[in-house]
Amino acid sequence: MQDVTLTVNGKTETRRVEGRTLLVQFLREHLGLTGTHVGCDTSQCGACTVILGGRAVKSCTILASAAAARGEVLTIEGLGDEEALSPMQEAFHRHHALQCGFCTPGMVMAAHNMVQRHEGELTEAIVRRELEGNLCRCTGYHNIVKAVLAAAEAHRAVASAPAGQD
Amino acid sequence: MYAFDYHRARSLEEALKLFATLDEATFLAGGHTLLPTMKNRLAAPENLIDISALPELSGIGMQGGVLRIGAAMTHHAVAASSLVAETIPALAALAGSIGDVQVRHVGTMGGSVANNDPAADYPAAVLSLGAEIETDRRRIPADDFFQGLYATALEEGELIVAIRFPVPETAGYGKYRNPASRYALAASFVSIRDGAVRVAVTGAGKNGVFRWEAAEQALMGHCSASRIADLRPESDALLSDMHADAAFRANLVNVVTRRAAEHLGGASIV
Ligand SMILES: Cc1cc2nc3c(=O)[nH]c(=O)nc-3n(C[C@H](O)[C@H](O)[C@H](O)COP(=O)(O)OP(=O)(O)OC[C@H]3O[C@@H](n4cnc5c(N)ncnc54)[C@H](O)[C@@H]3O)c2cc1C
Ligand code: FES
Ligand code: FES
């Protein structure tokens, strides 16, 4: 057992865990943040995607101990909530980009990170390519791609607005 | 996964010292091969030594005519490097074709080369370019390094520090991806240096990555896809599995090698 300290959604948390504890277990079982899902546990589906040190990663394939050296963690709970959805959550809602919703936390985190890394400069081809690590069994992806492109466009509009305006 | 203890090394020296003192120890880089293997209980080390943050394994730079890439550099870092794009653009494209964006953010070049999966991408580039594997104790030429499925020349506890790629006149990569895993169903790296053509094929060989010498001879002097239009490797030496049988792979090796030759200075990833 060892103490692992991680900053998750802006809050620094320490827990005593086993060496083999995965980042996703640390989040779900030790911090109670069950928004991050486990779809496969074989590194394929992306339902467990969180942002670690500014990059989307599969939290089922990183040890919590190793994550501690790689920067802060952002999970779906840190993006927004029912009262105040984040722009990406809002876009998923508006474009009906989910059905059962199981893949959605991972999709939203991957998409949020994609928009940030590309500063909103996305095309359909880039979105489809960068969502290769996120599987959805329901939607056929079409509306997910629409939602990500809409959020990217909103991101560009905000970025190019003169200072002081919203 | 069976229980183990986790250790984070802060320097190359500390990593080697930990390996020498701990029982049943294994190095951990990105963990994107090792952790899935441990989850399947195909590996059960008692101690993991995290080498992903060692300063000695980091960085991408030119030394003479050699592009030196630290073993802990992620696939994303290689794909996004302007130095790699300027010197060996096919290598940047290869790195950008590995897995998916989440995998590329974490998986490393050293982990891929040490693992020598028969469908991995980097071994094709390392072998075609005649790179050297720089370890904590020596430099190993690519021709001696890869020794069959998941087997390499690395000794017990030997750590890859960097890979040294001599910059070629030009190089191209052709890859046909398994649409589910995105590993290579067959892929071919063609490079020209000092007038010599080297062709290395991954994804297809029964013994892992191999040099396709018949294609090298056919392409010598004039690296044009039409020269190998009818050339296929012997299917006895090729993998046969549920994804593709050996005859299909023999044809695919022809296709991806022609595409590599047609895309010198870049890549064709399908
Ligand atoms: C969903 C998915 C898709 C993938 N698709 C592809 C693909 O298309 N193409 C492809 O090539 N790969 C693919 N991979 C594998 C990926 O590239 C891995 O990241 C890589 O094979 C291993 O690198 P790692 O840093 O994760 O190594 P680890 O898993 O940490 O280590 C792998 C092995 O190498 C050893 N090792 C690590 N670093 C060193 C070192 N510096 N010196 C000596 N030994 C070392 C470890 O001890 C271990 O035995 C995929 C993986 C996943 C999960
Ligand atoms: S649960 Fe992590 S990739 Fe599926
Ligand atoms: S909405 Fe059901 S898996 Fe994506």
A84-141: per-residue pLDDT in tens? 999 999 999 999 999 999 999 999 999 999 999 999 999 999 999 999 999 999 999 9
Pocket of ligand 2 (CB under 6 A): A 38-41, 43-48, 58, 60
Cross-sheet strand order for the sheet of B139-141: B60-63, B66-70, B160-166, B132-135, B139-141
CATH number listed for the domain at residues B58-269: 3.30.465.10
Which tokens hold the place of B212?
């396709």
Going by pLDDT thresholds of 50, 70 and 90, the confidence category of residue A6 is: very high
A56·B182 Cβ contact <8 A = no
Contact by Cβ (8 Å): B118, B208: yes
What is the structure's pLDDT at B180? 87
B80 contacts chain A (CB < 8 A): no
- Residues contacting residue B22 through CB under 8 Å, at least 6 positions apart: B5, B7, B46, B47, B49
A38 CA: distance to closest CA in chain B (Å): 14
Q: How far apart are CA B127 and CA B165, in angstroms?
A: 10
Half-sphere exposure of A144 (CA within 13 A, CB side): 27
Ligand 3 proximity of A34 Cβ (cutoff 6 Å): no
- Name the one residue in this structure whose structure tokens are 């396709």: B212
pLDDT at A161: 82
Say which residue the tokens 């590329």 belong to. Answer: B104
Domain with CATH 3.30.43.10 in chain B: 5-50
Class of residue B155 by CB neighbours under 10 A (exposed 0-12, middle 13-18, buried 19+): exposed
Rounded alpha-carbon distances, angstroms, from residue A32 to A24, A75, A156, B224: 11, 12, 34, 59
Query: Rounded distance, CA A120 to CA A149, Å?
Result: 8
With CB atoms and an 8 Å threshold, state whether B31 touches A66: yes
- The minimum CA-CA distance between B220 and chain A, rounded to whole Å, is 36
* pLDDT for the residue numbered B102: 98
Across B20-169, where does the E strand assignment appear?
Answer: 25-28, 47-50, 60-63, 66-70, 132-135, 139-141, 160-166
Instruction: Give the pLDDT confidence of A21-78 residue by residue, as tens digits.
Output: 999 999 999 999 999 999 999 999 999 999 999 999 999 999 999 999 999 999 999 9
Residue of chain A whose alpha carbon sits nearest to that of B3: A20
Instruction: Give the burial class of B124: count Cβ atoms within 10 A of its Cβ; 0-12 exposed, 13-18 middle, 19 or more buried.
Output: buried
Window 17-46 of A, Cβ < 8 Å to B: 18-20, 22, 41-44, 46
The whole-number pLDDT of residue A24 equals: 98
Q: ipTM strictly over 0.90? A: yes
Per-residue pLDDT at A129 = 96
Q: What confidence category does residue A163 fall into, taking pLDDT thresholds of 50, 70 and 90?
A: low
What's the rounded Cα separation, in Å, for the pair B214 and B238? 15
Residues B4, A20: C-beta atoms closer than 8 Å:
yes
C-alpha distances out from residue B173 to B90, B189, B190, B254, Å:
6, 5, 6, 13
Q: Residue A89 and residue B163: Cα distance in Å, rounded?
A: 42
pLDDT tier for residue A164 given thresholds of 50, 70 and 90: low
Give residue-wise pLDDT tens across range B110-138: 999 999 999 999 999 999 999 999 999 99
- Using the predicted structure, report yes or no on whether residue A166 has a pLDDT greater than 60: no
> Chain A within 8 Å of B22 (Cβ-Cβ)?
no
Amino acid code (one letter) for A80: G
What span, in angstroms and rounded, lies between the C-alpha atoms of A29 and A21? 10
- Overall pTM > 0.90: yes
Domains and CATH numbers, chain A: 2-78 (3.10.20.30), 87-160 (1.10.150.120)
Burial string for B205-234 (b: 16+ CB within 10 Å, else e) reads beebbbbbeebbebbeeebebebbeebbbe
Do A75 and A82 contact (CB within 8 A), yes or no? no
CATH number attached to the domain at B5-50: 3.30.43.10
Residues of chain B with CATH 3.30.465.10: 58-269
What is the per-residue pLDDT for A81? 87
Tokens 């790699």, residue located: B84
Q: Is B44 on the interface with A (CB under 8 A)?
A: no
Model pLDDT, residue B223: 92
Question: Are the C-beta atoms of A22 and A62 separated by less than 8 Å?
Answer: yes
List the pLDDT tens digit at each of the 270 positions of chain B.
999 999 999 999 999 999 999 999 999 999 999 999 999 999 999 999 999 999 999 999 999 999 999 999 999 999 999 999 999 999 999 999 999 999 999 999 999 999 999 999 999 999 999 999 999 999 999 999 999 999 999 999 999 999 999 999 999 999 999 988 899 999 999 999 999 999 999 999 999 999 999 999 999 999 999 999 999 999 999 999 999 999 999 999 999 999 999 999 999 999
Amino acid at B182: R
Nearest to A57 among B1, B28, B106 (CB): B106
